[in-house]
Structure 1
Amino acid sequence: MTDTPAYPIEDPATQTASSDWGAVLSMSLCVALLIASEFMPVSLLTPMAAGLDATVGQTGQAISISGLFAIVASLLVTTVAGRLNRKGVLVGMTALMLVSLAMVAAAPNFSVLMIGRALLGVCIGGFWALATPVIMRLVPASDVPKALAIMYGGQAIAAAFAAPIGSYVGGLLGWREVFWALTPLVAINLVWHLVALPSLPARGRQDVRSMLALLRRPYFALGLAASMLSWGSAFTMFTYLRPFLERVTGADVTLLSLLLLALGVAGFVGTWAAGRFIKDDIASLLKLPALIMGAATLGLLLFGGSWIVVGALLIVWGVMNTAMSVIWMTWMSRNAADAPEAAGALMVAAVQASILLGAVVGGWLLDGISIHATFIGSVALALLALVLIRDGTRLLNPAHSNQRETHDDL
C-alpha cells in the first residue's frame, strides 16, 4: 500500500503536477540574499557608524528596525496583496530589496540608511510570509520537506559566509562597496524569479479573520507559542555568542572567526538532514530543536573554557539551528494546509518577534547580571518550550491525526 500523507491537500486540481525545482532554487538564492542583507551590518557596524557620523549603538538599530518592519509586513502582506498573483508579489519584494540595498549603499546620512533598512524589513516579512505557502504549491506534498530544506540552504550559505566575506571586503574597499556588491546578485535573482516562478494566482482573499481563526485552534496556538519559545531560546544565545566566546572561552579574532565559521558550515548538515529524514511523523521531531540546542547551550555554560568542547557544541547547535526552521515550517504546512498564507504570516511574525525578544532579554541579562545569566535565560526558554511540546501530539490537528490512524488501520 502506498504511503499517503496524513494531512489534507488544499485542492488536488490546483497542485503542481511535478516538482518545480528551478523555482525552488530561485527562492533559495533569495533567502541567502535576504539573510546576508539583514545581518551584514553586524560585521560592518563600526565603519558604518564612522561613515554616517553616528554612534555604534545608533547604527545597530539598523538591524532592529528591519526586524520591526518585518513583523508588520508579515502580518499585512497577505491581506494587502489581496488577489494579486503571488509571483508578482515575490518579484516585487525582490525588486524592493534591490532598492533598499542601493539606498543603504548610497546613504548620505543616518536617516536615509534607516529608511533603506525599513524597506528591507518589508521585503523580509513579505517574502517569508509567502515562502512556505509558495513552496507548497511548487512541489507535491511529499517533497515539501526536501524543498524547504533546499530553500533554507540559502540561509545556511548566508550564515556561513556572508559576515566573514562582508568584513573582509569592507576592510579592503569600504562598507558601501559591500552593499553595492550585493545589488547585481539581487538583480540576477530578480530575473531568475521572472523566468522560473510559475503563475501563482491568489487562492481566495486573506484577511485578519483568517489569522484569528487559526489562533482559535488550540493545537496551532500551542504550536505557535512553542515555536516562539524555541526560536527565542536560540536567538537569546546566538545574539550574544561573541561576547561569551571572548569573555569565557578567551577566543582571539582568529579563533572566533573559526568557531563562527564552523557553526555556519554545520548549518548545511542541518538542512540536508532535515530534508532527508523528515517523514510523516513530525510530532516526534518538534521537541528536538529546544532539547538539543538547549543542551548545547548548557554545555557551553559548563565547559565554556575549553575551545575544543565549545567548537564541538557549536557544531551540534549549528546543525539543529537550520534543521529547526525546516521542522517547524513542515509542521505548519501539514497542520494549517487549509490556510497556508495566514499561517505563514503568523509564523514569520512569531520568528521575528522571537529575534527581538531574544535580543532584548539577553541584553538585559548581560548588562544587568552577566553573560552567564544570558545563556541561563536561553536554557530556561528551551525548557519552557519542551514543557509545551511534550511528545508533540498536542500540536497536531486532531482531524488529521484521526485520518492518519484510520489510514494506519487499513
Structure 2
Amino acid sequence: MQDSQANHLTHHWKMWLAVIAISLAAFIFNTSEFVPIGLLSLIAKDFGVSEAEAGFLISLYAWVVALASLPLMLACSRFEMKRLLLLVVGLFVLSHIGSALSSGYWTLMLSRIGVACAHALFWSIATPMAVRVAPKGKESVALSCIATGTSIALIAGLPLGRVIGLHLGWRISFLSIGIVAFLLLLVLVKSLPKIPSGGAISPRSLPKLLKTPQLLGIYGITLCLVSAHFIVYSYIEPFLMQYANFGENVITMVLIVFGGIGFVGSFVFSKYYNEYKTFFLNFAIFGIFIALASLIGAKFSLFGALLICVLWGLCITLFNLTLQAKVLQLVPVGTAVAMSMFSGIYNVGIGSGAFVGGIVIQYLGIANLGFVGAGIALCVYIYYSKKMFF
C-alpha cells in the first residue's frame, strides 16, 4: 500500500515537472518574440534605419509564423511530441546564434525567420502537450502555467533583454537567449516523457474543422483584437520615450509592471474560469479597449501610465488564456492542428498590428497609436456582445 502511494506521488510530481519544463520553454520563446520591442531603437540606430523599418522585423516574424504554422504542423503531426519539441528548440538555438552574428539588417531578418519557424511549431504543440501531461482535472492550471511562462517573459525576459542590450549591445541579448535555450534543451531531454502524436490530420480534413462556427468566431476575434493590441504594444518603447518623455529606467519599469500583472491574470484564470467563462471574455475585450483609449493620458502621470498597463496586461492575459481554452474544448481531436491555426492567426494579428502601427506613426504621429488600436478593440467588443456565439 505504501509503495503504491509512493509511486503514485512520484508519478504525480513527474507530471508537474513536465508541465513546468514546457512553461520554461514558453518563457524562452516569448522572450525571443517580444525582446525586439525593447531593443527597437538600438537595432534601428545600429543599422541606420527608421524605427518603423526596424518594427518590420516584428511584422515579418509574425507573418512567417502565421504562414508556416499550419503547413509545418501538418507535416509534423505524426511526430512523437517530445522528439518534435527537442528539434524545435534546437532550431531556435541555432537561429539565435545567427542573430547574434548578423552583419546587417537582412541577415538579422533571415535569422529571425529561422526563429519564427521554430516558434510556429512550438506554439502548435506546447499547449496540447501541457494539457496532456498534467494530472487529470488540472488542465486549466496547466494552461495558467503556460501563461505564467509568458508573463515571466514580459516581466523578466523582455526588460532583462533590454537592459543587456543597453549595456552590452542588442546582439548579446540574442546570444543570451540562445544560451539559455540550449540549457533548457538539456532539461527537456531529461524531464519530458514520450508523448504520442495527438493524431495526424490531412489537408482534406481541414474544411470539416473550419465548419465549426464557434471556432471561426474565435479565430476572427483573435485576429482583430490581437491586431489592435500590437498596433500599440509593438511601439510601446518609442511611444513612452517620445510621447510620454519617460527615461530608459522608467520604461523598463513600466514593461515589468505590464508583464507582472500577467501573474495575477494567470491565477485568476486558473481559479475562476470554469465559473465565469462568459464574463472573462467580455471583461478582457472591453478592458483592452479602455486601456488603449486611455494611453493618451500616459504623459501626464507615471502612476496613471502604470494603472493603464495593469489593466491592459491583465486583460490581454485573460483574453489569450480564454481563447486557447475554448479552442481546446471545441477540438478534442487534432488539437495540435487547431492550435497551429490559432497560433498562425494570432501572429497575423501581431504582424498586421506592427505594420499598421508603423503606418500610423509615419502619417498620424506616434501619439495616435492608442486611438487607432482602441477603435478596432471597440468594434470587436460591439460585435462579440451582439453575437455571443461561444
In which range does the TM-score fall when normalised by the shorter chain? Answer: 0.7 to 0.9
1:201 is paired with a residue whose SS is: coil
Partner of 2:24: 29
2:389 is paired with a residue whose SS is: helix
8 Å contact from structure 2 (residues 99, 112) kept in 1: yes
TM-score relative to the length of structure 2: 0.88
Give the superposition deviation at 1:347.
0.7
Aligned CA distance change for structure 1 residues 198 and 306 (closer, same or farther; 3 Å)? same
Partner of 2:309: 314
Q: Deviations over 1:46-85 (max 9, x none)?
A: 5545666777665544333322221122111221114111
Number of positions where the alignment pairs a residue of Structure 1 with one of Structure 2:
380
Aligned CA distance change for structure 1 residues 142 and 85 (closer, same or farther; 3 Å)? same
Give the superposition deviation at 1:104.
1.3
Match of 1:142 among 128, 137, 140: 137
8 Å contact from structure 1 (residues 227, 385) kept in 2: no
Aligned AA (2:118): C
Q: How does 1:8-407 map to 2 (within 5 A)?
A: 20-48=15-43, 59-140=54-135, 142-279=137-274, 281-301=276-296, 305-390=300-385, 393-395=388-390
Q: Deviations over 1:164-220 (max 9, x none)?
A: 322332343333332222233111211222222221222332123343322221121
Taking the aligned partners of 2:131 and 2:168, their CA distance within structure 1 comes to 42
Aligned CA distance change for structure 1 residues 216 and 17 (closer, same or farther; 3 Å)? farther
2:120 is paired with a residue whose SS is: helix
8 Å contact from structure 2 (residues 21, 187) kept in 1: yes
Aligned AA (2:240): L
TM-score relative to the length of structure 1: 0.84
Q: Which runs of 5+ in 2 are unaligned?
A: 1-10
Q: Deviations over 1:5-63 (max 9, x none)?
A: xxxxxxxxxxx999811111111111111122223333334554566677766554433
Aligned AA (1:320): C
Aligned AA (1:227): T
Aligned CA distance change for structure 1 residues 41 and 292 (closer, same or farther; 3 Å)? closer
2:128 is paired with a residue whose SS is: helix
Taking the aligned partners of 1:228 and 1:19, their CA distance within structure 2 comes to 36
Q: Which runs of 5+ in 1 are unaligned?
A: 1-15, 396-410
Taking the aligned partners of 2:137 and 2:314, their CA distance within structure 1 comes to 23
Partner of 2:3: none
Taking the aligned partners of 1:195 and 1:154, their CA distance within structure 2 comes to 19
1:206 is paired with a residue whose SS is: coil
Deviates more, 1:213-222 or 1:59-68: 59-68
Taking the aligned partners of 1:212 and 1:319, their CA distance within structure 2 comes to 35
8 Å contact from structure 1 (residues 211, 346) kept in 2: no
8 Å contact from structure 2 (residues 227, 352) kept in 1: yes
Partner of 1:405: none
CA RMSD of aligned residues (A): 2.6
Q: Deviations over 1:134-174 (max 9, x none)?
A: 22311256312211111121111111222332233234333
Taking the aligned partners of 1:141 and 1:299, their CA distance within structure 2 comes to 42
Taking the aligned partners of 1:47 and 1:307, their CA distance within structure 2 comes to 24
Aligned AA (1:72): L
8 Å contact from structure 1 (residues 85, 201) kept in 2: yes
1:84 is paired with a residue whose SS is: coil
8 Å contact from structure 1 (residues 235, 359) kept in 2: yes
Q: Deviations over 1:297-323 (max 9, x none)?
A: 223336752332222121121122222
Taking the aligned partners of 1:17 and 1:163, their CA distance within structure 2 comes to 33
Give the superposition deviation at 1:91.
0.9
